[in-house]
Structure 1
Amino acid sequence: MNRSILPLLIMLVIAACSPKPTEQEKQPETTQVKLTTSKGDIVLQLYNETPQHRDNFIKIVEDGVLDSVLFHRVIETFMIQSGDPDSKLAGPEDTLGNGGLLYTVPAEFHPDLFHKKGALGAARDNNPEKASSSTQFYIVQGKVFTDSLIDAAQNRINGWLAESFLRQDSAYLPYIDSMNVALMSGDRETYFRFSNYLKTEAETKEEFDPHIIPESQRDVYKTIGGSPHLDQNYTVFGEVVSGLEVVDSIAAVATNPLDRPLEDVRILKVEVISKE
């Protein structure tokens, strides 16, 4: 045999015997969704780390659930919210925010997914499981935070985590109920007194795992901005990859006392544009 051919044959044999990548080893597809709004286009990328929210969002997009809905809740330096099917035919005086399909999506919290500017999050009502609305979502505009404000947000997060943790012990339910009554009545002093008490109690329990905002995420909150107090409490399942200026434009519109825009801002069409 020609000696010059032998090395080539060896390489071909090795290549043929090498294991092929399994389905698990292949890079997962990345899904992007385009919102065509009356203020311009926003392109969202859905996270594979939150598969239930990703799949649900794709389904309601493909079913046309989000076509023609309004941005019904807009708070500048915080977020813009949409996805209420009842808003499609809503009159100017209608109160919105309670619509959706008859199911919820289980919470999916991931340590690397947080409420930076442009984050796509799932709205929800006040439920102990923190399960998400089937259709309503928000996009974070947020603001830039200082270290002291991030510390305050972290304290607020751990207050919520403490409430969820201690809810398993019936002895703490009266305190939790009193705290929530204070919150609903606008009594911030009483609310924070109970919240701080519950957080202190939880921290004495070995099983309680408080949330620490990582330095890498702190850096983002101090430069790009966001809404850190929502972390570990509302599911983040995507982010804006194009159209942040449209988010800013929507966030800047005039609103009524219920945070609904005085002039309708509508999502005209939603479509899945790529799976890469």
Structure 2
Amino acid sequence: MKKPYLFLCFLSALSLGFSTLGFNANADVKKYEEEVQKSQFLSRHWDESELKERFQNFLSALQKQEGIEDYIVPDINEDEKETIREFFRPYEKKELTYVHTKMDILNQVSGTDEYNDLRGIFKLTFRVKEGAKTIEHTVLMHMARLGDANGIKWKIYKIIWSDKGIDVSDVKLIQLEKPKRGEQVCIMTTDAGVIKMRLFPEQAPVAVKNWIELSKQGFYNGTPFARVIKDFVIQGGALDGSGDESKSIYNGFFEDEVHKGLYNFNGALCLGNNGPHTNGNQFYIVQKKNVNESVFPNTSLPANVEEKYKEVGGLPELDGRYTVLGQVYEGMDVVEKIAAQETDKNDAPVENPVKIQKIEFQKYR
């Protein structure tokens, strides 16, 4: 019975001997999270370019299943390396598309040389083709820039956070189609001219019903576009703090109807609100001929929607938070004329704001 005990003692002594002689497997493991930051930098365009190329190559390596060891910090322990490999393993051999890289934090740490003293928190967004679907993924990572005079590379040492994936497959876009014969359309007569709009009762039934019935009651007749911002929106309804903001056919505020297929394209008719499910009678019409493409990486829009925004303009930054219930198909010149009014610091027309004379509905011929 003494032999197993003696054997265990021998193994312990052997392990201690290896450690003493420098054979400890964890001897060169570095604790990056324990480093001391001595300064923080603002990333520059060359940093972004370097990262973009690095991550494009990274996704290519994943897709070709070439291995990602060159993208992992070499001196963390094996378990930490495997955690990183395991996270990205499901994406190997799949069709991957780079979307965006953002450097949220860039700092300098003490205790090393100028080739190895930069650390950062980075956001990588990429898309994965999975059958008929396209799924967008975003991951946050701790990274270190390591190397020497012969070359420096950003490498991952920890996955901080990731989402579960967002479906960004192409959607059917009906919003900008011409009205069909017999379709009920909205005719808004203003002091500046006539604006004709399609409505989407199937996609936003609650909002469309409220819009039609309030209009037929004459609620909007004689009311002004009280807030106008050129290259943004013209806005009407109860905006004056009178307490009528919640007035609707539902005796108060009603729910949002954010439909994946309707967007804040130029000319979109939408409901204004003061937060989730605070729709009443406020509305706005988008007036923006172009689009700020820099917002796309943070909006998770289908590719065909992004392309349509580039074509017609609009405000993708408003998508997902406001109900879209209609679309101008004739009279955008009138919308632009209203938006061009001189305004004060509160975006209210300085004098003689354009008013709505009447809103009618008729079958499109």
The TM-score range, normalised by the shorter chain, is: 0.5 to 0.7
How big is each residue's C-alpha offset from its partner over 1:91-121, in whole Å with a ceiling of 9 and x where there is no partner? xxxx558533151121111110000000010
2:227 alignment counterpart: 73
Contact 1:120 1:137 survives alignment (8 Å)? yes
2:288 alignment counterpart: 142
Q: Which runs of 5+ in 1 are unaligned?
A: 1-26, 88-94, 155-211
1:96 and 1:141, CA in 2 relative to 1: closer, same or farther beyond 3 A? farther
1:146 and 1:257, CA in 2 relative to 1: closer, same or farther beyond 3 A? closer
Higher strand share: 2
1:271 alignment counterpart: 360
Q: Could you tell me how far 1:275 is from its partner in structure 2?
A: 6.8
- For residues 133 and 254 of structure 1, what CA distance do their matches in structure 2 show? 28
2:310 alignment counterpart: 222
2:193 alignment counterpart: 40
How big is each residue's C-alpha offset from its partner over 1:172-194, in whole Å with a ceiling of 9 and x where there is no partner? xxxxxxxxxxxxxxxxxxxxxxx
1:238 and 1:132, CA in 2 relative to 1: closer, same or farther beyond 3 A? farther
2:354 maps to amino acid: V
The answer on 1:61 being equivalent to 2:215 is: yes
SS at match of 2:295: helix
Contact 2:295 2:317 survives alignment (8 Å)? no
1:125 alignment counterpart: 274
- For residues 213 and 250 of structure 1, what CA distance do their matches in structure 2 show? 30
1:111 maps to amino acid: K
- For residues 103 and 221 of structure 1, what CA distance do their matches in structure 2 show? 33
* Percent pairwise identity: 32
1:147 and 1:244, CA in 2 relative to 1: closer, same or farther beyond 3 A? same
- For residues 253 and 106 of structure 1, what CA distance do their matches in structure 2 show? 32
SS at match of 2:226: strand
Q: Answer with 1 or 2: which has the greater Rg.
A: 2
- For residues 262 and 327 of structure 2, what CA distance do their matches in structure 1 show? 10
- For residues 236 and 28 of structure 1, what CA distance do their matches in structure 2 show? 22
The answer on 1:246 being equivalent to 2:339 is: no
SS at match of 1:104: coil
Contact 2:287 2:336 survives alignment (8 Å)? yes
2:344 alignment counterpart: 256
Contact 2:199 2:325 survives alignment (8 Å)? yes
Q: Which has the higher contact order (CA 8 A, sep 6+)?
A: 1
Q: Could you tell me how far 1:220 is from its partner in structure 2?
A: 1.8
Q: Could you tell me how far 1:148 is from its partner in structure 2?
A: 2.5
Runs of 4+ aligned residues of structure 1 deviating over 4 Å after TM superposition are 95-98
1:216 and 1:98, CA in 2 relative to 1: closer, same or farther beyond 3 A? farther
- For residues 292 and 197 of structure 2, what CA distance do their matches in structure 1 show? 27
SS at match of 1:133: coil
Contact 2:181 2:364 survives alignment (8 Å)? no
- For residues 242 and 315 of structure 2, what CA distance do their matches in structure 1 show? 20
Q: Could you tell me how far 1:143 is from its partner in structure 2?
A: 4.1
SS at match of 1:65: coil
1:106 and 1:30, CA in 2 relative to 1: closer, same or farther beyond 3 A? farther
- For residues 33 and 133 of structure 1, what CA distance do their matches in structure 2 show? 20
Pairs within 5 Å for 1:173-212: 212=300
2:32 alignment counterpart: none
Contact 1:116 1:221 survives alignment (8 Å)? yes
1:149 and 1:232, CA in 2 relative to 1: closer, same or farther beyond 3 A? closer
Contact 1:143 1:227 survives alignment (8 Å)? no
RMSD across aligned C-alpha pairs, in angstroms? 2.2
- For residues 28 and 213 of structure 1, what CA distance do their matches in structure 2 show? 31
Equivalent residue pairs, number: 180
1:139 maps to amino acid: I
1:234 alignment counterpart: 322
1:31 maps to amino acid: Q
